[in-house]
Chain A
């Protein structure tokens, strides 16, 4: 997937690029201001754009409006330090797919990009096939060796999040915020994250799935693919 990252904080931009390229398959380009972003959009085609609203020489919202005039399908993720509902609503109204408030988890951003990728390149109806696991995201169904798993909603979301972030260490906080958002304080959720993962793992193993989910002691989990 071809991704353009428009973020004036170069360090943050670098981190995003680095994280997205661990797995490969993405082609990331980064620009650090409004003018360069507009130039890139005029010249090249992208599958997705990750854009900060507050840029030194313009507003990310204007970039989004520009994109919407040009292409309807490009995925748009806003990353912004502003957390007000008005900003959020405005961003989503003019056509952004997601609105992430800084600071966000890279795993979260990656999961959103994966979802956009599925929407653009497979019309959203695709199955995610990974070895013996098969997931139909829109129908919230998962299969192992073609046998359907009976997963709760949270367990399904955990599995999808893991598959979107293969081979990466997923922190407990990142997972908790993905599942429950900001309202839940992370420490409260650690206990039942453990429960959800234990159950998910049990269900996967029961159907003969390999044990991909590793516990990274004190940190979180990793969907390990050798």
Chain B
């Protein structure tokens, strides 16, 4: 949910509650005010009626309003008539309907006889008035809430603008780029604080990142030198003809190990570079050209293992990626499919639209299929392989948003890569 929607929703819920309670309270207050008013009038009439009763009757002093009903009945003590204000309804003959009245009942004495007097005041007009006032205020309040909501939205938007700008800039920020994160001064202290913290954080991250990059580069260089020396010395040692068989074997074993070490170093560095996204350039790659090139490169391997290669290109879409990484990607996939194949096995390459499927025969995996893309997860029938080929494939797919999948069906290892970037 967006921040603006969230605050507006909160505002709306709260104002709705306040509005409901407020309207109810307003209604009862209004009602009681009006009742008080009517009570006061009825009281005044009661006094005048009592005066009329007291003085000679009929009196000319204050004629009784014919509209204002009065009911006088003899009163006997013990009868349970209400002696106070109450609401009631009476049938009106003229309009033929019930009309609400406010009633005051009291007892007065005339000629030594107690009379129970009920006087009434119609509530019709006041009720109408209350309804009108109520309607008008309700409409006004709703109008006010809507206007407030609208104004709130506008002001919030302008206030939060700086925040959205920061988010936008963070989104576009690339740690590989030369420029630092550039956030503008805002008018809000909190946002300025946030921006300051973000700038500090990204600068620190960038510094660490550069240090790490330098470290990998340095370690590469520094490791290659001693490795070069070891290899050169071993090669020289092999040239001297006076080694015994055993010594030869020892030198060869060490030589092979140091070669393996240097290959491992190079591959891990490549992985780190891919992870660090140090291959930013990209161009449109024709997969068919690249795959054919790799197959030619591995021709010896294919022939020596007598592998049947079948290719099928079905209007392959160009892939936008770094050319060097595309070579590594296809090379690793094809090498993998050849290496873990049987002698005389099959290798099928199908490229349809933007999906590449490479399937090959081969011994069943001894590791979980899910972990096939993990580093150093290798089957033991190729002791010299580094177990990094598919990890590199995964890494390359990760940075471009391609999805690699592995499955084992009917004796075929199937690698499927969708080049539709997610």
Contacts and interface: CB of A to CB of B under 8 A. Distances in A.
Contacts of B222: 81
Contacts of A65: none
B115 to A, nearest CB: 117
A172 B347 CA distance: 27
A45 interface: no
B236 interface: yes
Interface residues of B, number: 48
B304 A12 contact: no
Contacts of B229: 9, 11-12, 15, 103
A12 B232 contact: yes
Interface string A166-200: 00110101100000101111111101100110000
B258 A103 contact: yes
A34 B170 CA distance: 45
Given A18-B236, A105-B231, A187-B385, A218 B248 contact: yes
Contacts of B259: 103, 173, 186
A107 B382 contact: no
Contacts of B385: 185, 187
B51 to A, nearest CB: 115
A103 B258 CA distance: 9
A19 B239 contact: yes
A53 to B, nearest CB: 9
A106 interface: yes
Contacts of B273: 84
Interface in A199-220: 216-219
Contacts of B223: 81
A19 B238 contact: no
B283 to A, nearest CB: 14
Nearest to A85: B324
A186 B255 contact: no
Contacts of B298: 184
Contacts of A101: 224, 266
A155 to B, nearest CB: 11
Given A12-B225, A218-B248, A195 B304 contact: yes
Interface string A90-118: 00000000000111111100000000000
Given A22-B239, A219-B238, A103 B248 contact: no
A195 B239 CA distance: 24
A42 interface: no
Interface in B299-337: 300-301, 303-304, 324, 331, 335
Interface in B346-396: 382-386
B248 A82 contact: no
Contacts of A169: 235, 238-239
A16 B232 contact: yes
B249 interface: yes
Interface of B: 217, 220-225, 227-233, 235-236, 238-239, 245, 248-249, 251-252, 255-256, 258-259, 262-263, 266, 269, 273, 278, 297-298, 300-301, 303-304, 324, 331, 335, 339, 382-386
Q: Which 7 pairs show the lowest CB-CB distances between chains A and B?
A: A187-B384, A81-B224, A15-B232, A81-B221, A103-B228, A102-B224, A102-B228
15 contacts: A9-B228, A11-B229, A82-B217, A83-B224, A101-B224, A101-B266, A102-B225, A103-B230, A103-B262, A171-B255, A180-B300, A185-B263, A187-B385, A195-B304, A196-B300
Interface of A: 9, 11-12, 15-16, 18-19, 22, 54, 79, 81-85, 101-107, 154, 168-169, 171, 173-174, 180, 182-189, 191-192, 195-196, 216-219
